[in-house]
């Protein structure tokens, strides 16, 4: 233990000495570590706060785990009795509230019963379903829905996962940043490490010296960073009416993750250094480690053209300039990419998800009258019914003109003019479907499908990306499966299977005209809407709808939605009551709107944007850190130049040229990088997540692009040119060794 204390003590002393002596040299690390800690503590405080707020909000609004709607008198008493049964079986339920419609004497008395499980709600519900549900159903139809309180654990866990992800991103980026800075620093001035290794320091020792330097710094910046992030969080929270809480736990987490970042980045940098020989490290008192040795000497000092001369010097230092420009521009592009992600986040938030789902059981199915009935409720703004058949499962496909097919489409060549494609969903179109499609981006006349049996509506996308280029008026052919001549011996998938079918199955084709094209649909398969007759001919089924989703006005509060839900069920019950009272319609409250409000209050989007701005700050830091220390080590060059007769104007011109070249280079790289990154995110989000509820758009956030470009160019320019000021201020006229 004593040894351990000595160890800490010695390392700490050595590090503190280094840090305080080289305060200026370490100033960058102070800033960087401060920012990293600010970032980390913002994340932990947000995590803390949002989780707490979510929990409070849910507990405030819901006092029960599930609600049984529209129970009759017998059911009510049965449920009450259950509470005592439960008591005897060591399971506890509590009847929180009973909302009554009419008085018990009336023959049509009904009530809503809210129940709270005293144990784990999932277990409690399962026990209930096993033991008591059959009896309850025998007494009358049962409509039960769980509340967000039931999902509380899950919801809170989701918060943890979310923030775990944010932590991961922050830690990775911070490590990257600190690692790059450290590599730049140690490549430039590996001298110190050279001395250490020459006198017997192994990798562990080297690691220790660097690690402790940063540890000392992070200890000094920890509290200020946490206080600043507390203020920042307070401002954000005040916007959405949340309270924030900062505790020791946040301090601990921030410190802990800072340690991880420091350890990882120092480890990366030291591993790079430890591979070098002491001699090569020792030669790096100046910038010699960065210099790329030339084949022949250029005529540097006789060059009258500053630009040419500077370009020559750029080539010599290309390793350095490439490292600095690439790493700082990378962060700037990551910033824009983060801004784009924020945009996607809001895009997802604006996508409307259904609030209720109605499922028909038995022989019942959704009809036109039901649509009218649901829409007659105040607050319900749309219905969406689903019934489709894929071409694949019918052994069928469609033929599309080659001229309308992108190279990326998974088609199989049929003949010279057309290709076969089977990732198609067939839908039957009626006035309600057409009405819903009206809301999506389309060209052509949607209602034509209702009027002519040979006209269809087709989408141009599948797997969330556009693969076809249809126009209204084009024709496609639908294949009808007749007979299989042989079956594949081995299981086949995708285009192989389609190819096999084309060769070994018999089809006949019917040509149909495209009446309208749906663009940028978010779907796994290509959608093809056809008249009910054609649908029946293609699939052999009459369209029948078993589930329908109901959309509500997104301005409704969760209280109003609860009311709406119980209204739907109550009236539904009156109108659709079966003679034998059996359950045939089940309505489920998906709690979408509540979840949406919850997501909104977390300000995740804003926080992502804030993180992106930090990442942009990383880029600025790299510029200034690298450039200032690089030129400082190069100052002899300028002192020498003035000694041989260069006047300040000439030297200013040199710096100016340097700054200009770098600015232009970084602007170009920034544009290229961010385009590539954003496209990659766009592609991944649409095609790799298999989430076919949202179709993200590809768009460069213009204002932020210019903001990023401005800051990148400015810091590239200033970080270079500022060295001229430093040079002018220094009174050194004699080059030192």
Partner 1 sequence: MYILQTEDVIKQYKQYDSTINAVDRVSLKVEFDEFIAIIGASGSGKSTLLNICAGLDVPDAGKIYIRGNDITKMNPNELAKFRGRFMGVVFQKHNLLPQFTALENIVIPAIMCDQQDYRYEEHLKKITKALKIDDRLHHLPSELSGGQQQRVAIARALINRPQILFADEPTGNLDKQNANEVLELLLNLKQQIGQTLIIVTHDMNIAEMADKIYKMDNGKLQLYKDRDGYKRLSPEA
Whole-angstrom CA distances from 626 to 322, 478, 541, 678, 716 are 12, 64, 70, 27, 11
202 binds partner 1 (CB under 8 A): yes
CA end-to-end distance (rounded Å), the chain: 45
> What is d(CA 529, CA 546) in angstroms, rounded to the nearest whole number?
18
Restricting to residues 292-321, which ones interact with partner 1 according to CB under 8 A? 293, 295
- Three-class SS state of 589: strand
Of 118, 279, 574, 726, the residue at the interface with partner 1 (CB under 8 A) is: 279
Closest approach of partner 1 to the CB of residue 204, in Å: 8
Closest approach of partner 1 to the CB of residue 24, in Å: 11
**Number of residues in contact with partner 1, rule: CB under 8 A?**
30
Whichever of 193 and 618 has its CB closer to partner 1, that residue is: 193
**x-marked contacts with partner 1 along 440-469 as a string, rule CB under 8 A:** ------------------------------
Stretch that binds partner 1, among 202-210, 303-311, 353-361, 463-471 (CB under 8 A): 202-210
Closest approach of partner 1 to the CB of residue 50, in Å: 45
203 binds partner 1 (CB under 8 A): yes
Closest approach of partner 1 to the CB of residue 206, in Å: 9
> What is d(CA 482, CA 463) in angstroms, rounded to the nearest whole number?
29
Of 45, 176, 201, 711, the residue at the interface with partner 1 (CB under 8 A) is: 201
195 binds partner 1 (CB under 8 A): yes
**x-marked contacts with partner 1 along 147-186 as a string, rule CB under 8 A:** ----------------------------------------
Of 32, 93, 177, 282, the residue at the interface with partner 1 (CB under 8 A) is: 282
> What is d(CA 261, CA 37) in angstroms, rounded to the nearest whole number?
10
Residues 6+ apart with CB under 8 A from 42: 229, 232, 233, 607, 610
731 binds partner 1 (CB under 8 A): no
267 binds partner 1 (CB under 8 A): no
Residues 6+ apart with CB under 8 A from 8: none
383 binds partner 1 (CB under 8 A): no
Q: What angle in degrees, to the nearest 10, is found between the helix axes of 635-643 and 702-729?
A: 50
Adjacent-strand bridge partners of 69: 143
Whichever of 18 and 719 has its CB closer to partner 1, that residue is: 18
> What is d(CA 73, CA 66) in angstroms, rounded to the nearest whole number?
19
Question: For residue 474, which of 394, 537, 417 has the smallest C-alpha distance?
Answer: 417
Residue that has been written with the tokens 């419609």 in this structure: 101
- Three-class SS state of 483: strand
Of 173, 196, 356, 545, the residue at the interface with partner 1 (CB under 8 A) is: 196
Query: Cα Rg for the chain, rounded, in angstroms?
Result: 34
- Chain centroid to CA 375: 34
Whole-angstrom CA distances from 447 to 107, 432, 460, 470, 518 are 48, 11, 18, 17, 13
Closest approach of partner 1 to the CB of residue 276, in Å: 8
Of 4, 107, 199, 301, the residue at the interface with partner 1 (CB under 8 A) is: 199
Residues 6+ apart with CB under 8 A from 362: 582, 584
197 binds partner 1 (CB under 8 A): yes
Stretch that binds partner 1, among 11-19, 308-316, 321-329, 447-455 (CB under 8 A): 11-19
**x-marked contacts with partner 1 along 667-686 as a string, rule CB under 8 A:** --------------------
192 binds partner 1 (CB under 8 A): yes
Handedness of CA 672, 678, 684, 687 (dihedral sign): negative
Adjacent-strand bridge partners of 94: 116
> What is d(CA 560, CA 562) in angstroms, rounded to the nearest whole number?
5
Closest approach of partner 1 to the CB of residue 290, in Å: 17
**x-marked contacts with partner 1 along 19-58 as a string, rule CB under 8 A:** --xx------------------------------------
Closest approach of partner 1 to the CB of residue 26, in Å: 11
Stretch that binds partner 1, among 271-279, 310-318, 383-391, 447-455 (CB under 8 A): 271-279
Q: What are the contacts of 372-378 at 24+ separation with CB within 8 A? A: 373/575, 374/548, 374/550, 374/568, 377/564, 377/567, 377/568, 378/564
**x-marked contacts with partner 1 along 331-370 as a string, rule CB under 8 A:** ----------------------------------------
Q: Which spans of this chain sit near partner 1 (rule: CB under 8 A)?
A: 10, 14, 17-18, 21-22, 191-192, 194-205, 274-275, 277-280, 282, 293, 295, 737
């Amino acid at each position: 233990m004593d040894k351990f204390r000595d160890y800490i003590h010695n390392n700490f002393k050595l590090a503190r000495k280094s840090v305080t002596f080289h305060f200026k040299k370490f100033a960058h690390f102070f800033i960087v570590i401060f920012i990293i800690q600010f970032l980390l503590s913002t994340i932990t405080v947000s995590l803390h706060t949002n989780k707490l707020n979510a929990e409070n909000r849910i507990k405030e609004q819901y006092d029960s785990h599930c609600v049984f709607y529209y129970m009759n008198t017998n059911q009510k008493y049965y449920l009450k009795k259950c509470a005592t049964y439960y008591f005897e079986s060591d399971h506890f339920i509590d009847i929180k509230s009973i909302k009554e419609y009419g008085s018990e004497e009336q023959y049509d008395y009904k009530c809503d019963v809210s129940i709270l499980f005293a144990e784990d709600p999932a277990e409690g519900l399962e026990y209930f379903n096993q033991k008591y549900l059959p009896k309850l159903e025998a007494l009358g139809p049962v409509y039960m829905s769980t509340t967000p309180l039931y999902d509380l654990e899950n919801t809170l866990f989701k918060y943890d996962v979310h923030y775990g992800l944010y932590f991961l991103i922050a830690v990775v980026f911070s490590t990257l940043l600190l690692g790059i800075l450290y590599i730049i620093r140690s490549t430039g001035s590996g001298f110190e490490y050279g001395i250490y290794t020459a006198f017997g320091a192994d990798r562990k020792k080297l690691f220790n010296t660097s690690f402790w330097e940063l540890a000392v710094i992070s200890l000094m910046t920890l509290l200020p960073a946490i206080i600043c992030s507390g203020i920042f969080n307070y401002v954000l929270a005040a916007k959405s009416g949340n309270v924030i809480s900062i505790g020791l736990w946040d301090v601990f987490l921030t410190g802990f993750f800072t340690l991880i970042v420091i350890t990882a980045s120092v480890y990366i940098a030291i591993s790079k250094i430890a591979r070098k020989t002491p001699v090569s490290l020792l030669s790096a008192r100046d910038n010699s480690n960065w210099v790329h040795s030339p084949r022949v000497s250029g005529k540097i000092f006789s060059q009258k053209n500053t630009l040419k001369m500077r370009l020559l010097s750029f080539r010599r230092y290309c390793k350095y300039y490439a490292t600095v420009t690439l790493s700082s521009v990378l962060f700037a592009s990551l910033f824009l990419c983060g801004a784009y992600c924020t945009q996607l986040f809001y895009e997802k938030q604006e996508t409307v998800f259904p609030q209720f789902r109605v499922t028909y059981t038995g022989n019942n199915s959704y009809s036109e009258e039901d649509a009218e009935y649901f829409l007659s409720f105040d607050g319900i703004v749309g219905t969406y019914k689903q019934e489709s058949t894929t071409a694949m499962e019918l052994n069928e496909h469609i033929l599309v003109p080659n001229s309308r097919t992108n190279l990326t489409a998974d088609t199989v060549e049929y003949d010279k003019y057309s290709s076969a494609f089977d990732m198609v969903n067939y839908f039957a179109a009626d006035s309600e479907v057409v009405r819903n499609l009206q809301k999506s981006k389309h060209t052509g006349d949607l209602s034509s499908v209702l009027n002519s049996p040979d006209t269809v509506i087709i989408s141009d996308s599948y797997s969330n990306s556009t693969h076809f280029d249809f126009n209204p008026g084009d024709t496609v052919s639908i294949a009808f499966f007749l007979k299989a001549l042989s079956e594949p011996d081995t299981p086949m998938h995708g285009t192989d299977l389609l190819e096999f079918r084309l060769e070994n199955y018999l089809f006949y084709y019917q040509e149909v005209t495209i009446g309208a094209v749906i663009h940028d649909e978010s779907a796994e398969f290509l959608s093809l809407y056809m008249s009910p007759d054609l649908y029946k001919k293609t699939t052999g089924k009459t369209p029948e709808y078993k589930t329908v989703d109901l959309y509500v006005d997104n301005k409704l509060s969760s209280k109003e939605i609860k009311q709406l839900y119980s209204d739907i069920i109550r009236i539904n019950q009156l109108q659709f009551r079966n003679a034998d009272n059996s359950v045939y319609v089940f309505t489920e409250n998906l709690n979408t709107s509540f979840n949406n409000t919850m997501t909104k209050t977390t300000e995740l989007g804003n926080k992502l944007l804030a993180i992106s701005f930090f990442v942009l700050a990383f880029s600025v830091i790299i510029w200034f850190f690298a450039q200032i220390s690089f030129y400082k080590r190069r100052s002899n060059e300028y002192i020498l130049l003035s000694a041989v007769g260069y006047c300040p104007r000439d030297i200013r011109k040199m710096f100016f040229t340097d700054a200009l070249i770098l600015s232009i280079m970084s602007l170009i790289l920034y544009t290229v990088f961010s385009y590539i990154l954003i496209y990659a995110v766009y592609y991944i989000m649409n095609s790799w997540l298999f989430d076919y509820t949202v179709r993200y758009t590809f768009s460069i956030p213009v204002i932020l692009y210019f903001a990023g470009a401005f800051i990148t160019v400015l810091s590239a320019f200033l970080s270079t040119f500022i060295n001229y000021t430093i040079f002018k201020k220094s009174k050194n006229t004699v080059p030192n060794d």
